[in-house]
Amino acid sequence: MDVSLFSNRYFVRCMTEKDIAEIYALCRNNALYYKHCPPFVTEQSIADDMKVLPPNKDHSDKYYIGYYDKDKLIAVMDLINKFPNEKTAFIGFFMTDISVQNKGVGSEIIHELCAYLKEYGLSAVRLGWVKGNPQAEHFWHKNGFAETGVTYDTDNYTVIVAQREL
Ligand SMILES: CC(C)(COP(=O)(O)OP(=O)(O)OC[C@H]1O[C@@H](n2cnc3c(N)ncnc32)[C@H](O)[C@@H]1OP(=O)(O)O)[C@@H](O)C(=O)NCCC(=O)NCCS
């Protein structure tokens, strides 16, 4: 996949360890998210997330990316290609900067991403949100994601698995 084609509006690139401080600055302001999905973010948890992979996947299918509006980081996403199957992409994490929220930026990013992934040949995008997080649930419903009926429990919360067909 060519991440530079994920958006026409924003500059998109793969993030590295050098970007952790900038990602942390974006994440730490999203208190509502971490209330539902503890523990609260740290620079170490971002470093860990940059490396973590689902079962039976390797780094070639992982895209931990940043979206830039000129020089400003406005969104972060963790995308796994071909998971849980060859025709599906999985969004493990998506967050916009609090300064741009509720202006349609997140929806525009997802709209452009889905168009790219369809063109690339995938047929679905899957993700999960924490049960009871109103912001995440509203956002993903608004963007065409529907509950699959699958949920799973972690120690701290329940995850609702949802999918959008492309
Ligand atoms: C979810 C998120 C990515 C949306 O980004 P955004 O740039 O604000 O997206 P948009 O402006 O396109 O849409 C936001 C929608 O959420 C709604 N919303 C915002 N806060 C809300 C809340 N507390 N409860 C319910 N809905 C809420 C907005 O009203 C808007 O919907 P509308 O257009 O129907 O009014 C952003 O809020 C975020 O990063 N949240 C923290 C991380 C997160 O929850 N990520 C997804 C979880 S997997």
C-alpha 145 – ligand 1 centre gap (Å) = 14
Going from the Cα of 101 to the center of ligand 1, the distance in angstroms, rounded, reads: 7
Arch. (CATH architecture) of 3-128: 3-Layer(aba) Sandwich (3.40)
121-to-94, 115, 117, 118, 152 alpha-carbon distances in Å: 22, 10, 6, 5, 28
Q: What predicted TM-score, i.e. pTM, was given to this entire model?
A: 0.96
pLDDT tens digits along 33-66 = 998 888 999 999 999 999 999 999 999 999 999 9
The pLDDT tens digits of the residues spanning 101-128 come to 999 999 999 999 999 999 999 999 999 9
Amino acid identity of residue 99, one-letter, is S
Q: Which atom of ligand 1 is nearest to the CA of 129?
A: 48
| Residue 140 to residue 43: CA distance in whole angstroms | 26
Nearest-atom index, ligand 1, CA of 100: 7
